[in-house]
């Protein structure tokens, strides 16, 4: 892409590209570049047109924002145009916005800013006549949208009939229809199973779902709508005097409004809100792409008015993009603890979702095929929430002539053993078992991890060092390490060496479930390890169990049973287990008889702060007594143990008449069960 051409030819190229990308995005629901790239090209064109107004054409994408309605839906004319928001990308630009607002108001005029997250979905309008939903429409180009009444009726958070009685006879409500991240993951997981096309992000999935002519498909998608404004022909201010009061009314009438709304005094409050939401962003259940700030008082909004298609009294402060474009430089193959081979994309580093990313997972070779990605391709990377960065799409029209196919390896990149693919599985695995250095190394990391043996200070980097220096080969070797050996390692002083030896010694006092989980047997997670321990009571009994005996255990099916039996059939594994026990690893006896399962079949909830132990420790002890420990209180809860500063869970238990215990009561139960 050359930027040295004349402004005229560059503008023509940009217009062509933007028309193409706009059509792909709005009409086909199939964008081929990430939003930031679109925005960059759009801004570049805007800049050229600002400097050379004679180059501005009536059909320029800068003169029309949004897409043409699809012909299959009826067209709806918005009596009151649906506005878009101007964007800012920096604190400076936000302060400029505030200055422009204040410069248009009299000095003595006071006002506030309403702050809310900007949901990344599809803008929609709902029309209610006499309190009944009669029409739903997309924003379209702001003047005309598509009639999606049948589809919006399927969205659970949209009221079909209004609550209360103080609503106007004719009410139009606007908001954002979106798909929470969990719903997006679910739909894509189904699409993967059916080998159909994946959605690139939750917003595209929401758009695709709303644009279904068959509303049964829409109904199967867990869409939500969050409302953010009332559009009325008559005098709004009869009903409420500010944006925030309007949202309160909407909530009373039965609409979902953002629980994160806040009203602040000035621009400093806006900036604080921005930072606070940015910090919460990854943990939210849905994608947000920035913050909307609005002058809260409707009378002040009226004074300010509009410029072309956007209000002067509102602005969107955009967050760093969650999708970016970059180049796939190479693909490496990582070997996991169970031998699973994961193709890992090595990228030209790019700032996305708030961090610089240079690696992304490609999951497995089915995914590589589905994406059709080649080395050298420009790709779209997405980083949102707590998930690992993903390649979501190839920008096919930018494939270089020398792009290379990704070769599926036949041998393990670490130990050279042949790879195999179990029937019906998507993953390719190294058959080397513990011959494979990578599997051993990952097994040691797992053994040391928090939910396994919890060896404080033994992180992934240190395990790599220990293995690379030849000090350990198996998990059992950990317990023969000496402080002088450790102190010789890079970035390891005497003090940290002593600390690690102490942590290793401390880890020897464990529980049988932790130990079984730590061994890293395939498909044996924490819950299965606990069930195995409670059922077999001793390690010897478990090691002696055949398939049939294993199948009796809760949650153990034929596949898990065969992995467990196969693990203990390998002599090397039995030797390692024996060496660990010889090194002094021990656990409290699991009592049989009446007190073994003191809390068997009960569901407990822990809440508040405990003094004598952490909640995780208390949970483990309750589970050892046979209780299920749940995260929330329901009618099925048997007992809530509440430490200090317990809040809504304790209150809910009390309101449901569920038994509650304070910390002292909890300790008494644990003592009775022999856990303390
Ligand atoms: O959440 C949003 N995407 C959002 C969009 C929120 C708002 O309060 C908006 C909007 C678009 C236009 N307000 C306007 C006026």
Q: Which mutation among 228, 257, 309, 315 tests ligand 1's pocket best, with the greatest number of atoms within 8 A of CB?
A: 228
Q: What is the mean pLDDT of residues 357-385?
A: 94
Q: What is the mean pLDDT of residues 158-167?
A: 88
Which residue lies with its CA nearest to atom 12 of ligand 1? 84
Spacing, Cα 246 to ligand 1 middle (Å)? 14
Which residue lies with its CA nearest to atom 5 of ligand 1? 118
Rounded to an integer, what distance in angstroms lies between the CA atom of residue 20 and that of residue 42?
12
pLDDT single digits (tens) 551-581: 999 889 999 999 999 999 999 999 999 999 9
Mind spelling out the 3-state secondary structure of 271-327?
Answer: HHHHHHHHHHHHHCCCCEEEEEEEECEHHHHHHHCEECCEECCEEEEECCCCEEEEE
pLDDT single digits (tens) 429-487: 999 988 899 999 999 999 999 999 999 999 999 999 999 999 999 999 999 999 999 99
Spacing, Cα 98 to ligand 1 middle (Å)? 18
Rounded to an integer, what distance in angstroms lies between the CA atom of residue 499 and that of residue 456?
9
Rounded to an integer, what distance in angstroms lies between the CA atom of residue 442 and that of residue 437?
9
The pairing of beta strand 113-119 with beta strand 288-295: antiparallel
In what helix (H) or strand (E) does residue 356 lie, and over which residues does it extend?
strand 355-361
Rounded to an integer, what distance in angstroms lies between the CA atom of residue 669 and that of residue 174?
54
* Token reading at 519: 């061994």
Rounded to an integer, what distance in angstroms lies between the CA atom of residue 511 and that of residue 675?
11
Instruction: Give the rounded distance of the alpha carbon of 369 from its chain centre.
Output: 24
| DSSP state string for 62-104 | GG--S-PPPTTSPEEE-SSPPP---EE-SHHHHHHHHHHHHHT
Long-range CB pairs of 390-397, under 8 A, 24+ apart, other chains included:
390/360, 390/361, 391/328, 391/345, 391/360, 391/362, 392/198, 392/200, 392/201, 392/323, 393/32, 393/200, 395/32, 395/33, 395/325, 396/32, 396/372, 397/32
Q: Which mutation among 35, 176, 289, 293 tests ligand 1's pocket best, with the greatest number of atoms within 8 A of CB?
A: 176
- Cβ(537)–Cβ(592) below 8 Å: yes
Give every CB contact of residue 495 below 8 A, 6+ residues apart in sequence. none
pLDDT single digits (tens) 265-287: 999 999 999 999 999 999 999 99
Closest CA to 637 of 647, 646, 649: 649
Q: What is the mean pLDDT of residues 88-114?
A: 96
* Token reading at 521: 């047997």
**Closest ligand 1 atom to Cα of 117:** 1
Give every CB contact of residue 70 below 8 A, 6+ residues apart in sequence. 27, 146, 211
Closest CA to 338 of 522, 576, 596: 522
Rounded to an integer, what distance in angstroms lies between the CA atom of residue 352 and that of residue 35?
12
Which residue lies with its CA nearest to atom 2 of ligand 1? 118
Spacing, Cα 144 to ligand 1 middle (Å)? 17
Band (pLDDT 50/70/90 cuts) for residue 27 is very low
Q: What is the mean pLDDT of residues 626-645?
A: 88
Supply the pLDDT for residue 592: 65
**Closest ligand 1 atom to Cα of 121:** 3
Q: What is the mean pLDDT of residues 150-155?
A: 87
Q: Which mutation among 292, 296, 313 tests ligand 1's pocket best, with the greatest number of atoms within 8 A of CB?
A: 292
Pocket of ligand 1 (CB under 6 A): 83, 85, 116, 118-119, 176, 228-229, 292, 311, 314
| Active site residue ranges | 118
| DSSP state string for 596-647 | TTTTTT-EEEEESB-SSS-HHHHHHHHHHTT-EEESS--TT--EEEE-BT--
Closest CA to 406 of 388, 423, 424, 391: 391
CA dihedral 657, 659, 663, 668 (to 10 degrees): 160
Q: What is the mean pLDDT of residues 318-344?
A: 95
**Closest ligand 1 atom to Cα of 119:** 1
The answer to whether residue 594 scores a pLDDT higher than 80 is no
Which residue lies with its CA nearest to atom 4 of ligand 1? 118
Which residue lies with its CA nearest to atom 8 of ligand 1? 228
In what helix (H) or strand (E) does residue 6 lie, and over which residues does it extend?
none
Q: How many CB atoms lie within 10 A of CB 196?
A: 10
Closest CA to 225 of 203, 250, 255: 255
- Cβ(365)–Cβ(428) below 8 Å: yes
pLDDT single digits (tens) 473-528: 999 999 999 999 999 888 888 999 999 999 999 999 999 999 999 999 999 999 89
Whose tokens are 């050996």? That residue is: 485
Spacing, Cα 118 to ligand 1 middle (Å)? 6
Rounded to an integer, what distance in angstroms lies between the CA atom of residue 128 and that of residue 534?
59
**Closest ligand 1 atom to Cα of 84:** 12
Give every CB contact of residue 643 below 8 A, 6+ residues apart in sequence. 606, 607, 608, 609, 610, 611, 615, 662, 663
Q: How many CB atoms lie within 10 A of CB 89?
A: 16
* Angle in degrees, 0-180, between the axes of helices 460-468 and 437-448, rounded to the nearest 10: 140
Q: What is the mean pLDDT of residues 649-653?
A: 84
Query: How far is it between the farthest Cα atoms of the chain?
Result: 90
Spacing, Cα 228 to ligand 1 middle (Å)? 6
Mind spelling out the 3-state secondary structure of 229-249?
Answer: EEECCCCHHHCCCEHHHHHHH
- Cβ(417)–Cβ(430) below 8 Å: yes
- Cβ(659)–Cβ(638) below 8 Å: yes
Spacing, Cα 293 to ligand 1 middle (Å)? 9
Supply the pLDDT for residue 485: 93
Which residue lies with its CA nearest to atom 13 of ligand 1? 228
- Cβ(603)–Cβ(638) below 8 Å: yes
* Token reading at 574: 């039995």
Spacing, Cα 403 to ligand 1 middle (Å)? 42
Mean pLDDT, the chain, as a whole number? 90
Band (pLDDT 50/70/90 cuts) for residue 632 is confident
- Cβ(386)–Cβ(282) below 8 Å: yes
Supply the pLDDT for residue 108: 87
Rounded to an integer, what distance in angstroms lies between the CA atom of residue 675 and that of residue 660?
20
Spacing, Cα 292 to ligand 1 middle (Å)? 7
**Closest ligand 1 atom to Cα of 289:** 3
Q: Which mutation among 120, 123, 225, 315 tests ligand 1's pocket best, with the greatest number of atoms within 8 A of CB?
A: 123
The answer to whether residue 233 scores a pLDDT higher than 70 is no
């Amino acid at each position: 892409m050359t930027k040295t051409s004349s402004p005229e030819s560059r503008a023509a190229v940009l217009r062509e590209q933007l028309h193409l990308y706009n059509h792909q995005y709005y009409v086909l629901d199939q964008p081929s570049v990430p939003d930031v790239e679109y925005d960059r090209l759009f801004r570049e064109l805007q800049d050229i047109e600002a400097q050379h107004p004679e180059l501005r054409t009536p059909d320029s994408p800068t003169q029309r924002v949004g897409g043409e309605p699809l012909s299959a839906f009826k067209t709806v004319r918005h009596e009151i145009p649906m506005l878009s928001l101007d964007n800012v990308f920096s604190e400076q630009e936000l302060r400029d916005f505030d200055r422009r607002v204040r410069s248009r108001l009299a000095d003595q005029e006071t006002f506030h800013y309403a702050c809310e997250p900007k949901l990344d979905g599809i803008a929609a309008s709902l029309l209610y006549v006499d309190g009944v939903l009669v029409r739903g429409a997309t924003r379209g180009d702001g003047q005309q949208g598509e009639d999606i009444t049948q589809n919006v009726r399927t969205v659970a958070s949209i009221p079909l009939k209004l609550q209360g009685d103080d609503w106007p006879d004719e009410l139009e409500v606007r908001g954002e229809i979106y798909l929470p991240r969990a719903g997006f993951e679910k739909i894509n997981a189904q699409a993967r199973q059916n080998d159909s096309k994946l959605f690139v992000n939750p917003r595209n999935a929401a758009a695709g779902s709303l644009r279904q002519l068959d509303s049964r498909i829409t109904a199967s998608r867990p869409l939500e709508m969050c409302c953010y404004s009332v559009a009325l022909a008559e005098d709004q201010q009869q009903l409420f005097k500010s944006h925030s009061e309007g949202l309160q009314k909407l909530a009373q009438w039965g609409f979902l409004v953002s629980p994160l709304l806040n009203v602040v005094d000035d621009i400093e409050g806006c900036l604080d809100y921005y930072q606070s939401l940015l910090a919460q962003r990854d943990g939210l259940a849905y994608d947000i792409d920035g913050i909307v700030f609005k002058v809260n008082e409707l009378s002040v909004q009226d004074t300010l008015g509009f410029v072309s298609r956007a209000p002067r009294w509102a602005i969107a402060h955009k967050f760093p993009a969650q999708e970016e474009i970059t180049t796939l430089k190479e693909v490496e193959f990582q070997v996991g603890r169970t031998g699973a081979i994961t193709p890992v994309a090595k990228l030209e580093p790019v700032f996305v979702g708030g961090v610089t990313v240079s690696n992304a997972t490609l999951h497995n070779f089915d995914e590589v095929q589905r994406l059709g990605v080649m080395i050298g391709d420009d790709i779209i990377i997405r980083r949102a929430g707590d998930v690992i960065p993903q390649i979501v799409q190839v920008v096919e029209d930018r494939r270089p002539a020398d792009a290379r196919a990704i070769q599926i390896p036949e041998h393990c990149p670490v130990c050279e053993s042949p790879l195999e693919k179990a029937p019906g599985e998507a993953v390719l695995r190294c058959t080397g078992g513990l011959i494979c250095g990578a599997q051993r190394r990952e097994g040691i990391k797992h053994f040391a991890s928090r939910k396994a043996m919890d060896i404080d200070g033994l992180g992934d980097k240190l395990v790599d060092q220990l293995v690379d220096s030849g000090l350990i080969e198996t998990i059992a070797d950990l317990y023969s390490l000496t402080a002088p050996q450790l102190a010789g390692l890079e970035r390891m002083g005497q003090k940290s060496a002593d600390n690690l030896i102490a942590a290793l010694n401390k880890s020897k006092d464990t529980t049988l479930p932790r130990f079984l989980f730590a061994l890293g047997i395939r498909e044996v997670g924490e819950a299965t390890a606990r069930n195995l321990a409670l059922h077999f009571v001793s390690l010897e009994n478990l090691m002696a169990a055949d398939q049939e005996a294993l199948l009796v255990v809760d949650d153990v099916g034929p596949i898990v049973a065969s992995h467990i039996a196969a693990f203990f059939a390998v002599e090397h594994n039995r030797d390692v287990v024996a060496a660990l026990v010889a090194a002094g690893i021990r656990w409290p006896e699991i009592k049989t008889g009446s007190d073994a399962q003191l809390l068997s079949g009960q569901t407990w909830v822990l809440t508040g702060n405990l003094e004598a132990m952490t909640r995780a420790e208390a949970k483990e002890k309750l589970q050892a007594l046979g209780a299920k420990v749940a995260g929330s209180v329901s009618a099925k809860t048997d007992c809530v143990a509440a430490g200090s500063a317990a809040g809504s869970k304790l209150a809910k238990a009390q309101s449901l008449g569920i038994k509650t215990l304070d910390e002292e009561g909890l300790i008494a139960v644990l003592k009775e069960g022999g856990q303390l």
